[in-house]
Structure 1
Amino acid sequence: MQHGKKSRLKHSSLIAGTLATLITGIIAACAQTQTQSPGATTSTSPATSSTFPVQKDKGTLPTPVALPPESFDQWRERFRQDAMRAGIDTATLDRALNGLSPDDAVIAADRSQPEFTRPVWEYLASAVSPTRVRNGQALLTQHAVLLNRLEARYGIEPERLVAFWGIESNYGSNMGTKNVIRSLATLAYEGRRPEFARTQLLAALGILQQGDITPESMIGSWAGAMGQTQFIPTTYNEHAVDFDADGRRDIWNSTADALASTANYLKASGWQDRKPWGFEVRLPQGFDYAQADMDIRKPLNEWTAMGIQGVSVALPSAYSTEQASVLLPAGHRGPAFLVFNNFRTILRYNNSSSYALAIGLLSDSYQGAGKVQAAWPLEDAPLSHSERIELQQRLSDKGFDPGTPDGIIGANTRRAIRAFQQTLGWPADGYPTPSLLARLRT
């Protein structure tokens, strides 16, 4: 992906400080209360808390969105005034907003609700492909000096950092093709989360004003995720790093800046250097599958005392007091994992267990490990979006409380599934399957 020539604009610390204060004030006033991950929706990064990454090519269901009460030009002028009050200068606004029009493709992507999801095993086969592993190994060698410096500074192992790079943008080769300013303006005007998009747009304008990138070169996903590791603008403003010391935090064109920024974010999110993300394990006969819940944490030595064993390697006694949870990404009939704090840190980057598994397994694969040993339940196809809504509604009708039927299998739905499974005498793994839905229909 080609970008314009680097601009080496430099601002005094007073101007930058004033701008940061002004933008922080208006962002705080309009930001949503929920915690945001650094990247928005991308083709390789599941963005919801559901187990499976989204497959985008098998049909969609429209999400109703009210028509905006004003034209885009009217909205743009009103936003321009707000941005000026936030400290964005006229020159930046002119260059970024003049002649801007909504992007219909962004609205279509925002309003679509994928009907089908990819099974976790298909997603992992793509995310941890032999080609991606080989390319990552080559880059680990090529950038060894840089990666060692980054670990010394931020405490993130090279293999883990390169795995984020590989999953987020295929090592910088797929950063998206959308103009971030246009995408965010479109979403702020008529998207499903206009206040969130408005906050990101203000932050993106601040990035332009600081001279880190030009509007034309600020390229990313339709949802506004940017650069080689897909930061949203507010995350960029908080965690981006000018590691190559050229005066700009360039996560698009500078590998050093992109990887340092990601390492900085992971450190702030609680990454523990040289500690495991997790291990594939074998569960003992008679294991209580209700214990397979990310909300249940026990020291490793308690899990091993229950009979849990490593599959490829013995579970290391050095981590016997580390808190871990049992994860069943495909239910009790599929592989099982014990996951630790670093797995939860990956979830802060993207709240999908499939994504976090991909990061962990890819990083292990660079060193010759990372192959899942247990068989996947290939006959248990994931439920479609409409089937998940039906499952939630039928659980509710039978007196179990999955929350509002929305097609997202979150903690409430899993608890309801477990409760229903227990009434049937089934393994209470909280996993939605076609057979479970069929039983609910009777």
Structure 2
Amino acid sequence: MIGKIISSVIVTLFTVNLAYAQQGVSFDDYLATLKEKAALAGVSQNTIDKHFAKIKVFKRATANGSNKALNLESYIPQNSPEITVSTARAMFKEQQDALIALGDRYGVQPRFLVALWGMTSEFGEQKGNFPILSVTASNAYSGNKEQFYIDEFIAALKILDTNQVQYEQLIGSSTGAMGHMQLMPSQYLAYAQDGNGDGVKDIWNNQFDAFATAASMLKESGWKNDETWGRQVSSINPISSQLVGAEHTETFNDWQELGVRRYNGNDLPKRDDMQVSLLMPDGENGRQYLVYNNFRLLQAWSVKEHFLLTVTYLSERIKNPPIN
């Protein structure tokens, strides 16, 4: 995943996991293999010659805290407190006309973009300033999600190949996520947009370029502007754990038969044209949600359910009460 909550962060420094070093492979040796992979992937020799010497072993800044142990009852108010809600609503109101126009252009409700903006980078205040080539190469070298980070490293080189982004601008978080909306290099490469019409696709300094890029990614992935993300529900019968999770889907009618009801106890919508998933992030005694395809597309930022449900919570707080 790539979206990161930065709340009550304690920053520490530590060296990368030396999985390859323990096998006798130095970082320079590993870079040599990355250089070969980059050339085979079509990165220009000019970009390789120009930038590989700048790549260093990266000491990562990580967010440590108690978020992992929190349930939603604590997690949501801690990570989307009232100050975040009021800031999101103020930001939306201040730029409402431009946001609505952008939402109409891409078919993505702008409240979700603003919610993601708040949750991933604290409205642009926490974008990260680490060199992406060093981050992605070092994360690949650590052996953790190696192929993922090799692909992102090569994508970052291809961004430089376009000559539209300079090396010094290619910065982001310790996970490789970049700019206002914390997008990975491969996402920028595939979906980058000029959101304000100035001829530049700058997700680092222009939030509308970042919004447009995120909206383009959601649209191309199948976002439905006439649907929302999901709803909180309750169940009158025990639900098998095998049916729980975003990877498993049933229709509303199926969930109704299994004992799932609206949160107020009323019946679910009588329809079988949507594939819906049941989430129980805190187990059967915690909150329960039915989520739709739009929610699953938000996993482009993170697969962590607590984080995504906080994003959707913030989107609802932006929506209601209506902003005039």
**What TM-score range do you get, normalising by the shorter chain?**
0.7 to 0.9
Q: Quick one: structure 1 residues 92 and 315, their matched pair in 2 at CA, closer, same or farther if it must change by over 3 Å?
A: farther
Match in the other structure for 1:42: 4
> Residue 147 of structure 2 aligns to which amino acid in structure 1?
E
**Alpha carbon RMSD of aligned pairs, Å?**
3.4
Q: Name the CA distance, whole Å, in 1 between partners of 2:318 and 2:76.
A: 15
The size of the alignment, in residue pairs, is 314
Matching residue within 135, 139, 164 for 1:212: 164
| Correspondence 1:289 to 2:248 | no
3-state secondary structure, aligned to 1:102: coil
Moved more, 289-298 or 168-177: 289-298
CA distance in 2, matches of 1:310, 1:276: 15
Q: 1:357 aligns with which of 283, 294, 309?
A: 309
Query: What residue is the counterpart of 2:71 in the other structure?
Result: 120
- Which deviations, in whole Å up to 9, do the C-alpha atoms of 1:281-317 show, x marking residues without a partner? 2322xx0221751355333244446664433696774
* Distance in 1 separating the partners of 2:67 and 2:312: 25
The alpha carbon displacement at 1:174 in A equals: 0.9
Matched, 1:298 2:253: no
State whether residues 107 and 219 of structure 2, in contact with CA within 8 Å, keep that contact through their aligned partners in structure 1. yes
TM-score by length of 1: 0.62
Moved more, 324-333 or 308-317: 308-317
Does residue 269 in structure 1 map to residue 221 in structure 2?
A: yes
In structure 1, C-alpha distance between the alignment counterparts of 2:64 and 2:269, rounded to whole Å: 45
Give, in whole Å, the separation in 2 of the partners of 1:162 and 1:63.
Answer: 35
Deviation at 1:267, TM superposition (A): 1.6
CA deviations 1:113-153 (Å, max 9, x no partner) are 99982313232222321111111111212222222222222
The answer to whether residue 202 in structure 2 is matched with residue 250 in structure 1 is yes
Name stretches of at least 5 consecutive residues in structure 2 with no aligned partner.
none
**Cα separation, 1, equivalents of 2:79 and 2:223:** 22
Q: Tell me, in whole angstroms, the C-alpha distance in 2 between the residues paired with 1:99 and 1:177.
A: 15
Q: 1:392-433 CA deviation, whole Å, 9 max, x = no partner?
A: xxxxxxxxxxxxxxxxxxxxxxxxxxxxxxxxxxxxxxxxxx
Corresponding residue number in structure 2 for 1:327: 279
Which 10-residue stretch deviates more, 218-227 or 316-325?
316-325
> TM-score under structure 2 normalisation?
0.82
CA distance in structure 2 between the partners assigned to 1:113 and 1:172 by the alignment: 20
What residue is the counterpart of 2:19 in the other structure?
65
What's the offset of the Cα at 1:207? 0.7
1:311/1:208 Cα in 2 relative to 1: closer, same or farther (>3 Å)?
same
Q: Deviations for 1:4-53, whole angstroms, at most 9, x for unmatched residues? A: xxxxxxxxxxxxxxxxxxxxxxxxxxxxxxxxxxx5363459xxxxxxxx
Q: CA deviation at 1:332?
A: 2.1
Alignment of 1:9-88 (within 5 A): 39-40=1-2, 42-44=4-6, 65-67=19-21, 69-77=24-32, 79-80=34-35, 82-84=37-39, 86-88=41-43
The residue aligned with 2:173 is: 221
In the alignment, residue 70 of structure 2 is paired with which amino acid? P
For 2:121 and 2:18, the matched residues in 1 are separated by 31
Match of 1:173 in 2: 125
State the identity %.
Answer: 27
Looking at structure 1, the residues matched to 268 and 317 of structure 2 have their Cα atoms a distance apart, in angstroms, of: 19
User: C-alpha separation between the residues in 2 aligned to 1:240 and 1:354?
Assistant: 28
Q: 2:200 is aligned with what amino acid?
A: R
- Against the structure 1 CA distance between its residues 263 and 222, is the aligned structure 2 distance closer, same or farther, given a 3 Å change threshold? same
SS in 1 for 2:278: strand
* 1:362 positional shift: 1.0
Aligned to 1:98: 53
The answer to whether the aligner puts 1:366 opposite 2:314 as a matched pair is no
Instruction: Give the letter aligned to residue 71 of structure 2.
Output: V
**Is the CA contact (8 Å cut-off) linking 2:18 and 2:141 kept in structure 1?**
no
Computing the radius of gyration from Cα coordinates, the structure with the larger value is 1
Q: Structure 1 counterpart of 2:239, which letter?
A: Y
Q: Write the deviation string for residues 221-269 of structure 1: whole angstroms up to 9, x where unpaired.
A: 1121111111111121112212333333211112121011111111222
Any idea what SS the aligned residue of 1:281 has? strand
Counterpart AA for 2:19: V
Deviation at 1:364, TM superposition (A): 0.5
Give the Cα separation in 1 of the matches to 2:5 and 2:276: 30
Question: Could you tell me how far apart the structure 1 residues matched to 2:221 and 2:10 are?
Answer: 30
**Following TM superposition, by how much is the alpha carbon of 1:220 offset from its aligned partner in structure 2, in angstroms?**
0.8
Residue of 324, 344, 355 corresponding to 2:296: 344
Cα deviation, residue 356, structure 1: 2.1
Structure 1: which 5+ runs fail to align?
A: 1-38, 46-54, 370-442
Q: CA deviation at 1:329?
A: 1.9
- Give the drift of 1:348: 4.1
1:328-379 deviation line (CA, Å, top 9, x unaligned): 221222222222222222234321221221121110011337xxxxxxxxxx
Is residue 269–residue 348 contact of structure 1 (8 Å, CA) maintained in 2? Answer: no
Secondary structure of the corresponding residue to residue 98 of structure 1? helix
C-alpha distance in 1 between matches for 2:318 and 2:161: 39
Q: Match for 1:65: what amino acid? A: A
Letter in 1 for 2:169: S
The 2-side partners of 1:116 and 1:140 are apart by 27
